[in-house]
Structure 1
Amino acid sequence: MPENVAVLDERDLARTYNTPAYDDPYAAVMDYQAVMRYASEHPNKGSGAISSALEIPRGRIRPWLESGSKPDPARAIDVARELGWLDARYLDREFVGLNTLVANVFSGGSISTGRFEPSFALNYREHRSHVIDALEMVGLEYGFHNEESDDHATEVRPTEHSSVLGRTLAVLGAPVGPKADLEDLTLPWYLENAPYETREMFVLAYLANRGTHHRTKDTITVQEDRPESYRRELAALVEDVAKEPVTVGEQNVTVSAAAARSLGIQPRYESERIANRE
């Protein structure tokens, strides 16, 4: 996909919804748009006349005309467009944020089954975690949860348009539901043809959440109790971005010290080592 073309397709977003009256949820969007366009062009026509003209059941379109309701897929598309997600290209601020949030679903978050509501665990930087910057980049307010809990990690969640965000991330390839249950888990489809900057940001966000640093060496270990095919795919992505060796173990991926340095990742225990040498 060319870098100057929008990544998201509104049809895919619409099709994350269940619309009982339509086999294809996007057809509900097209009907709604046709009705509203016809009504604006014929302001003296009532719902009955519009129903006959467009051959859409009157009971379906009356709420659209009289109470301002919309099919859920149409509302989601409007939200995504207003926030700039649908027009965003790879290097646009909005897509940089979406890409980062997708990486966070894989490495430290989740999207609930059914409601498509995402939540993101804060990493070792806590309230300075990059996921907060990402939510701001996509234009959403957020709130923190489990801050006083000793049993659960503090999470950040959108306080508006949560389901639309979750569905958007799912369209981009973020897993929905428990990742441990997904035997065919794969990395997002858009990374294959994405520019280097997009792939690099995904890798850096992923490693910031799941990478384990060591006190005596600069390698980074990523524990991944996921299918071997996924670990190999992840290792190949990191190695391609870093241009240095990354290896796959039985339940982990190891980023070599050379790869970590190439990615510009600062060892978390560096200050400790300097103090010990002194």
Structure 2
Amino acid sequence: MNDSQPDVVRGIQAAEARGWLADHTTPEQEQAVVELAAWALSGGSIHLDGEAYAYFALEPHSRDEFERIATTAKLSYRIIRENDPDRATEARATTDGSVLARVFAAMGLPTHGKSRDNPTHFPAFVNQLDAPARERFASIYVLNRASEHDGKDTLTIREERPASYLNELVALLRDVSNQPITRSGYSITISAAAAEVLRRDT
């Protein structure tokens, strides 16, 4: 008798064992998985072709925050290109990375790259999160995408994405901060008051 299990079954079991599925996790770990999803969307990518994996871009100012989130999510990872000044430093899972990538895909995160034409909408699950989780999602997004300006407290996000996606991002940031946020073309301007709210947890 062949006792081997299909890959999908092993994947589900691995996700359950790591607490990456809602029915097999703690509130803290579930929140950390949502934060990893925010990181993959704002500062990373998900690939399902060939060997599935997700990567997370790291900057000096964000590395400690990523380590905290990964620890809570029980994500073991390795750092890639840490000393390469010409390429982005990345974190990739060392165990069950393909499982995590497929969990993200099931959550509705884009898996075909990001461009001016894709994705057309923000992941729908974000609208179903409670207020604290939405705030954390928005804060992670701002941590990875927003640029500072000398002598100003405002922040700018520039992303070449479809208008529908950017409008939904603006709606999220406004809802969470309850402060002025505007968009012009591919640029989103976060007011000083909004920036204070969106950066207070990171």
Q: What is the TM-score when the length of structure 1 is the normalising length? A: 0.67
Hey, what does 1:123 align to over in structure 2?
A: 59
Q: Is the 8 A contact 2:122 2:168 kept in 1?
A: yes
Q: Is the 8 A contact 2:39 2:144 kept in 1?
A: yes
Partners of 2:137 and 2:24 in 1: CA distance: 15
Q: Is the 8 A contact 1:247 1:254 kept in 2?
A: yes
Out of 156-165 and 89-98, give the one that drifted further.
Answer: 89-98
Q: What is the TM-score when the length of structure 2 is the normalising length? A: 0.91
Change (3 A) 1:91 1:238: farther
Q: Aligned with 1:218: secondary structure?
A: strand
Change (3 A) 1:209 1:184: closer
Hey, what does 1:147 align to over in structure 2?
A: 82
Partners of 2:180 and 2:23 in 1: CA distance: 33
Q: CA deviation at 1:77?
A: 0.9
Counterpart of 1:116 in structure 2: which amino acid?
A
Q: CA deviation at 1:80?
A: 1.1
Q: Give unmatched runs, 5+ long, in structure 1.
A: 1-61, 267-278
Counterpart of 1:122 in structure 2: which amino acid?
L
Identity %: 34
Change (3 A) 1:182 1:148: same
Q: CA deviation at 1:173?
A: 1.8
Q: CA deviation at 1:262?
A: 2.9
- The structure carrying a bigger strand percent of its residues is 2
Change (3 A) 1:87 1:262: closer
Q: Is the 8 A contact 1:100 1:131 kept in 2?
A: no
Partners of 2:92 and 2:7 in 1: CA distance: 21
Hey, what does 2:164 align to over in structure 1?
A: 229
Is residue 2:180 matched to residue 1:245?
yes
Number of residues paired by the alignment? 200
Hey, what does 1:259 align to over in structure 2?
A: 194
Q: Is the 8 A contact 1:179 1:185 kept in 2?
A: no
Partners of 1:171 and 1:123 in 2: CA distance: 27
Change (3 A) 1:182 1:73: farther
Partners of 1:229 and 1:90 in 2: CA distance: 33
Q: Give unmatched runs, 5+ long, in structure 2.
A: none
Hey, what does 1:219 align to over in structure 2?
A: 154
Partners of 1:198 and 1:101 in 2: CA distance: 12
Hey, what does 1:63 align to over in structure 2?
A: 2
Partners of 1:198 and 1:246 in 2: CA distance: 20
In the TM superposition, what are the counterparts of 1:179-198 in structure 2 within 5 Å? 179-180=114-115, 182-198=117-133
Partners of 2:26 and 2:141 in 1: CA distance: 18
Q: Is the 8 A contact 2:77 2:92 kept in 1?
A: yes
Partners of 1:91 and 1:170 in 2: CA distance: 21
Q: CA deviation at 1:113?
A: 3.3
Hey, what does 2:43 align to over in structure 1?
A: 108
Q: Aligned with 1:183: secondary structure?
A: coil
Partners of 1:89 and 1:202 in 2: CA distance: 21
Q: Structure with the greater relative contact order (CA < 8 A, sep ≥ 6): 1 or 2?
A: 2
Which structure has the larger Rg over C-alpha atoms? 1
Choose the corresponding residue for 2:143, options 199, 202, 208: 208
Q: CA deviation at 1:98?
A: 1.1
